Structure 1
Amino acid sequence: MDVLGRESLGAESTAAGARGRLGRYLATDGSLGAPVGVDLARPHAGVVVGKRGSGKSYTLGVLAEALADAPGVAPVVVDPMGAFRGLAAAGLAVREPAVRADALPPRAWCRLLDLDPASAAGTLVWRAAAECDALAGMREWVAGAHAGDAARRAAANHLALAASWGCFAPDAPRVGELLEGGSVLDCTGLAGAALRAVGCAVADALYRAAVEGARPLPWLLVDEAHACVSGPAADAVGTLYTRGRAPGASVVLATQRPSALPEAAVSQSDLVVAHRLTSGRDVDALAATRPTYLDGALGERLPARTGDALVVDDASESAVTVRVRERRTEHGGEERVVDRGETAG
């Protein structure tokens, strides 16, 4: 089986090392070719892109299944749409999207709350985050701080807003628990800043764990990434893309809007899986980063059928078309439709 993400796609790519089955090669006439896999023995940075309904979330689930089976690695999936609950059947723990307040670095708190870190209120929040490991402790610290009433009131109001999001808990799983067998963070009840807080906290925690020598090696998978990785989350995820592979941390973002991802996400990816895209802006954003491996216009090479994908692989400096394999666990990404028996009443 050829293995994407390794330097050779030929016989040498079958050498020992963790790998996951991705699907089969797809010929120009639509016929299926040899099986093709993806390398899991080394850290990688990647993106999975495609318009709504093209199969991008499904492909991310295929990768999560492969990681669940592979030795020495563990996926942590940020799931905003409930598409990955079925991964429980693959052994991943489906968890509430709670994070510890101290999982966010102090610098991220001001960005998350839209506070100028140089302002009096911003300085209080920064110092509270540096001093305390729980949100309740941060609020108490601000209430007793030696500062002007206006600054304390503003800082307190912003921290009260953070508490209302419902995503911070002092007993939230630590990174070691998330990595033990892998995890799915079911974020269907979160949006906006709360979702970005979870994305930032998890990305930063996984990077720090890798630097500290964590085993198994962490893989962060984020669906609907355009909604999860803006603001402070973009900084944390960007660190995984630019510096994560050296300590052994991997990251893959899935989105229907590649043009909305942090710049480093596409430019630093060594694996790009592209399903159907119709937005010229998104096609251009993707094409600008990989012109060397494409022998024609990217838009002409993108597949039209759901489940087919163009995979651009930096390691082998190639671009191949594949049919993604069927998942063995339930995929929850389908849209609800009106049953034939239902009426408008």
Structure 2
Amino acid sequence: MAYEIVLGRSKEDFAKLGTDAAALLGKHYVTMGKTTSLANNVFMDVNESHVVLIAGKRGSGKSYTMGVMAEAVLNLPDDVRNNIGMIFFDTMGLYWTTKFPNYKQARLLEEWGLQPEGYTKNVVVYAPAGYFEYYKEKNIPVDKPFTVNPADLSPGEWTMVFNIVLTDEIGVCIEKNINDLRKKSDSYSIDDIITLIKKDKTNSDRVKNAAINRFEGAKTWGLFSEEATPLEELVKRGVMSIIDISIYASAAGGFDIRSLVIGLLSRRLLEQRMVVRKLEELSDVQKSTTYFSRSQSKVSDELAEEKQVPILWIFVDEAHEFLPPMPQTTLATNSLVQILREGRQPGVNLVLATQQPGKIHIDAITQSDIIISHRLTADIDINALNEIMGAYASESLFKMFNNLPKLKGSALIMDDKSETIYPIQIRPRITWHGGGAPEVLPKDYETKEKPEEY
């Protein structure tokens, strides 16, 4: 009888929990002699906090695997799923399809004992407010608009998104006026920033006009509002909120706008979970001691208010674009690195997908306790993973990749908890995958003249 594998779960916890609070990812490849076959189910623990890195060259299935992982969490029993909130930063506009069943692989799903399913109630797709109606007109499924408050950006973040050095004269002008606004109010609009710059008597008209032009441009991004989307709306229990920022991928300066959204929201979410976790700890302490003078009911009330932000799973596709190797940085780098280093205790999980593990921030590799790698061929990428996976490998990673079945979805998984590397096959998605590459010929096309070796 095949035994179950739960990645990220110790033997002691497995004996206690079994496969409860674990998401099904695929099956383990077992080789006997010259025969390789699928055997044990492979799950991923969601009871504790994890950092997961998904790697693979273009077309190897890493985005598909990220979709499998997200839907596997959504597919958990209510008593588990409702303790989890999910934020998916969709940088390429692929994951709105999670709402729809995967009928095109119905036969393959049946072989796995699964069936197509869509998540219309548990998946909410957010689009930037300025593009929400545009998406609707194009019949692209989006549910709600989202905005961020310009007051949440520091002077340094404004200059970085504008590709200006903070110490340049335009940067100095922006810093001065943003700091002046912050002294007056916790919330303000871009128009408020522009108005104050116009009144600035310490800078020349040339400098002020250059700064104003940039803020006028920011207004066209359709992203900013004093009435920013509240965190408790974005993060709901048992729901995956897809933040579709793909519209900025091809826009001028689009890279910085996507980084800005990821960095701002990630930072706010981590801060909120830190507050919740402190109240949870204080509540636990007060249940077992009377040393604290504050009434337990008061702490419970505060916890109930803050509990709107549950344990978090944050997904970031194409992570190398937002977490480049040092000394490069983006507007998302600091927030994501902080989650990598400090997210375990407050219960913030992070899933990163990249096609270039050799060109990603070192912490994305060293802080990951689960690494899923599809086929890689570039030395720089294999060597990067070898820094951590090599310690658990019985043979070279090059050889282990070569020994994988030549099937899309095959992968090596490093589980730091068990100090083991598993060859596995990722299961088919039950929801529709939106990341397939277009083809010139119809899907059902077959040539009339078969090649000789056919």
**TM-score normalised by structure 2 residue count:** 0.69
Shift of 1:59: 0.8
Shift of 1:106: 4.5
Q: 1:73 aligns to what?
A: 84
Q: Matches of 2:43 and 2:158 in 1, distance apart?
A: 40
Change (3 A) 1:128 1:58: farther
Shift of 1:233: 1.0
Q: 2:202 aligns to what?
A: 147
* Residues 67 and 74, structure 1, Cα contact 8 Å, conserved in 2: no
2:242 is aligned with 1:184? yes
Q: 2:418 aligns to what?
A: 316
Q: Matches of 2:93 and 2:220 in 1, distance apart?
A: 22
Q: 2:15 aligns to what?
A: 12
Q: Matches of 1:184 and 1:225 in 2, distance apart?
A: 16
Q: Matches of 2:360 and 2:20 in 1, distance apart?
A: 31
2:315 is aligned with 1:221? yes
Q: Matches of 1:237 and 1:104 in 2, distance apart?
A: 16
Measured against aligned partners, the alpha-carbon deviations of 1:217-274 in whole angstroms (never above 9, x if no partner) come to 1211011222344512122211111111121111111111112222211111111110
2:375 is aligned with 1:306? no
The 3-state SS of whatever aligns with 1:289 is helix
Q: Matches of 1:332 and 1:9 in 2, distance apart?
A: 39
Q: Matches of 1:10 and 1:295 in 2, distance apart?
A: 26
Q: Matches of 2:420 and 2:157 in 1, distance apart?
A: 38
* Residues 224 and 256, structure 1, Cα contact 8 Å, conserved in 2: yes
Candidates 424, 428, 433, aligned match of 1:326: 428
Q: 1:96 aligns to what?
A: 127
Q: Matches of 1:246 and 1:273 in 2, distance apart?
A: 23
- Which aligned segments of 4 or more residues in structure 1 are displaced greater than 6 angstroms? none
Change (3 A) 1:144 1:54: same
2:338 is aligned with 1:289? no
Q: Matches of 2:83 and 2:198 in 1, distance apart?
A: 45
Q: 1:156 aligns to what?
A: 212
Change (3 A) 1:182 1:106: farther
Measured against aligned partners, the alpha-carbon deviations of 1:104-142 in whole angstroms (never above 9, x if no partner) come to 454422322222233443244345555244433333333
Q: Matches of 2:91 and 2:335 in 1, distance apart?
A: 18
Q: Read off the aligned partner of 1:217 and give its amino acid letter.
A: I
Measured against aligned partners, the alpha-carbon deviations of 1:55-79 in whole angstroms (never above 9, x if no partner) come to 1111111111122242311211111
Structure 1: 5+ residue runs without aligned partners?
none
* Residues 104 and 204, structure 1, Cα contact 8 Å, conserved in 2: no
2:168 is aligned with 1:112? no
* Residues 258 and 282, structure 1, Cα contact 8 Å, conserved in 2: yes
Q: 2:110 aligns to what?
A: none
Deviates more, 1:169-178 or 1:71-80: 169-178
* Residues 19 and 43, structure 2, Cα contact 8 Å, conserved in 1: no
Structure 2: 5+ residue runs without aligned partners?
100-117, 129-145, 250-254, 277-306, 325-329, 446-454
The 3-state SS of whatever aligns with 2:358 is helix
Shift of 1:4: 0.4
| Total equivalences in the alignment | 342
2:96 is aligned with 1:85? yes
* Residues 104 and 200, structure 1, Cα contact 8 Å, conserved in 2: no
The 3-state SS of whatever aligns with 2:395 is coil
The 3-state SS of whatever aligns with 1:193 is helix
Larger radius of gyration: 2
Shift of 1:30: 3.1
**TM-score normalised by structure 1 residue count:** 0.90
Q: 1:265 aligns to what?
A: 364
* Residues 2 and 14, structure 1, Cα contact 8 Å, conserved in 2: no
Q: Matches of 1:176 and 1:10 in 2, distance apart?
A: 31
The 3-state SS of whatever aligns with 2:158 is helix
Deviates more, 1:309-318 or 1:141-150: 141-150
Change (3 A) 1:290 1:141: farther
Q: 1:206 aligns to what?
A: 269
Q: Read off the aligned partner of 1:73 and give its amino acid letter.
A: I
Measured against aligned partners, the alpha-carbon deviations of 1:21-41 in whole angstroms (never above 9, x if no partner) come to 111111234311111110111
The 3-state SS of whatever aligns with 1:319 is strand
* Residues 248 and 258, structure 2, Cα contact 8 Å, conserved in 1: yes
